[in-house]
Amino acid sequence: MEIFLSAVLGELASRSIQFFINKSSTPKAMDVKDSLQRALLRAQVIIDEATGRHIRNQAMLQQVDMLRDAMHHGCYILDTFRYQSHDDKAKYQDTQPHGSEELEVLPIVGPAKVGKSTLVAHVCKNERVRDHFSKILFLRDHDFTDNGLTILREGCAMKHQNCISNMNNKKLMPRTSKIIIANRSANITEFGTTQALNLKYLSFEASWYFFKTIAFGSMDPEMHTTFGHVAMGIAKLFGKRFIGMNIIARVLRDNFDIRFWCKVLDFSRRLVQKYVSKFGVHPFDVINQNRPVHLGRMAIPFEDLVFYCVYQRYSREEVPKIRVEDVIYGNVKALGKSEFLSWVSPIPPYYSYVVTCEVRELKHRAAKRKRSTANGITLC
């Protein structure tokens, strides 16, 4: 699975890495210009040849469109490079301190749990990025106060340091410093000095591929067509919600029994239909907003599982032993409010996702037990 996830991030990571490389390295101007121009000419030849062949394959057409967009972007960069004044180049090459308004900013925008933090960590782990910077700091919301950048001495995760250089008390940074801002809101794009990266959830087709791979493990889905039919029904209920699909796929893989898979399908269908009909929203979308959700328990229908919130923990932090899927689909005894492990990411920054839930007895069940108790002796 690590290989698959790394492949998904590959294209996005390379774009982000290029942001650093292009701005931080100082090759000869003509070398950059000539290399880019040769690449654009090759792209134009490929596009012209593909257009002349009247391609009908949708996947190939999509690739051609992506290449055409990249060519347009490259032409724009080349023209910008050509028309840039020598004064601007000289100013850029100055490693003296300047005001923060001159810092370059890359915005990354995307919905919750789409992989913004993962992408940044993935890029900053690359040695081609690390070698250009003496420090790489990861800051969270509480590190920003009064519309200014406050670098906390404690709490900041310093991921890499080649050399120690004390930062100016006036909060001035060298012009070679770069900033990445990741947020769900598209409003952050106004702070960017380069084109923003807009992350989206995987397509359903890609999500199904991962779901099937995890659920069947080493077994061949073509040899178990009935299982595949049920698995696709479950996958369609959860669409592109990657973490939720990952959890359910693990449950199916650990319980390779067609009756159990059918029970998961029925349980999931009733849960989704209940929320969509009552609130007009998918229950996992409510979970992403950290709002309470009544999920219930498949194996113990007279108990309710109330989901409250999910949060991240770093790899070095301790996590709960009990997995949330064992509570939802298994027979774990866990009455009351507690924390459960949801998912551990296999790629940087290796976050663990922990959920706070409460297991309650349903009211009619509790009332029945109360009526069945006489003289301090439980009769049921």
Backbone angles phi, psi at 182, to 5 degrees: -115, 130
Q: What is the mean pLDDT of residues 125-140?
A: 79
Reference 2, options 353, 288, 355, 344; nearest CA is 344
Angle between helices 204-216 and 2-24 (to 10 degrees): 130
Reference 193, options 35, 363, 23, 352; nearest CA is 23
**Number of other residues whose CB lies within 10 A of the CB of residue 67:** 15
User: What's the pTM value of the predicted model, to 2 decimals?
Assistant: 0.60
pLDDT of residue 75: 66
| Whether pLDDT at 158 is above 70 | no
Highest mean pLDDT among 89-93, 201-205, 246-250: 246-250
Distant-in-sequence, close-in-space partners of 277: CB < 8 Å, separation ≥ 6: none
Q: In whole angstroms, what is the distance from residue 248 CA to residue 237 CA?
A: 11
CB 325, CB 250: distance < 8 Å: yes
- Exposure b/e, 192-215, CB count within 10 A at least 16 = b: beeebbebebbeeeebbebbbebb
CB 102, CB 176: distance < 8 Å: no
| Whether pLDDT at 92 is above 80 | no
Q: For the chain, how are helix, strand and coil distributed in percent, rounded to 5? A: 50, 20, 30
Q: In whole angstroms, what is the distance from residue 279 CA to residue 292 CA?
A: 13
pLDDT of residue 157: 40
Cα pseudo-dihedral 365, 366, 369, 370, rounded to 10: -140
Reference 303, options 367, 357, 263, 362; nearest CA is 362
Angle between helices 204-216 and 225-238 (to 10 degrees): 130
- The model's pLDDT over 265-317, given as tens digits with 9 standing for 90+, comes to 999 999 999 999 988 988 888 887 778 999 999 999 999 999 998 888 888 88
pLDDT of residue 143: 52
What DSSP character marks residue 323? B
pLDDT of residue 15: 55
Count how many Cα atoms sit within 13 Å of the Cα of residue 311 in the half-sphere of its side chain. Answer: 9
CB 275, CB 282: distance < 8 Å: yes
- The model's pLDDT over 305-358, given as tens digits with 9 standing for 90+, comes to 999 988 888 888 899 999 999 999 998 888 999 999 998 888 777 889 899 999
Looking at every residue in the chain, the average pLDDT score rounds to 75
